[in-house]
Amino acid sequence: MNLPQFIQTGLITAATLLPFTMALVTLYGKFGATGKLQLALALVTGLLLGGFVMYVQVLPKDLVSWTQVGLVGLIEGLGATGVYEVVKTATAKGAEEAQK
């Protein structure tokens, strides 16, 4: 897989999985995970889901393929943590505004 194909596949995979990843992170919150634990779970869940989906697409046989799997997992994990932080901050600001 060349670089443009990798970027396209990685971004499509990450964007497709992000709602599912965030649903799982919300579910972790319902089970009592909060703060840094929930943030770490967002990263790990994204890494695992993104890495797994890319693994199935690429079926890595060499270091370059494994690197692609890891990078897509990292993109998904960091995307999930970013969305989690944005939503948490927006929710806190919304609660402050509602109390005024």
53 to each of 26, 89, 94, how far by Cα in Å? 21, 30, 35
For the stretch 36-86, pLDDT in tens is 999 899 999 999 998 898 888 888 889 988 888 888 888 888 888 888 888
User: Does residue 32 surpass a pLDDT of 80?
Assistant: yes
Which residues does 75 contact at the CB level (< 8 Å), separation at least 6?
Answer: 10, 11, 14, 50
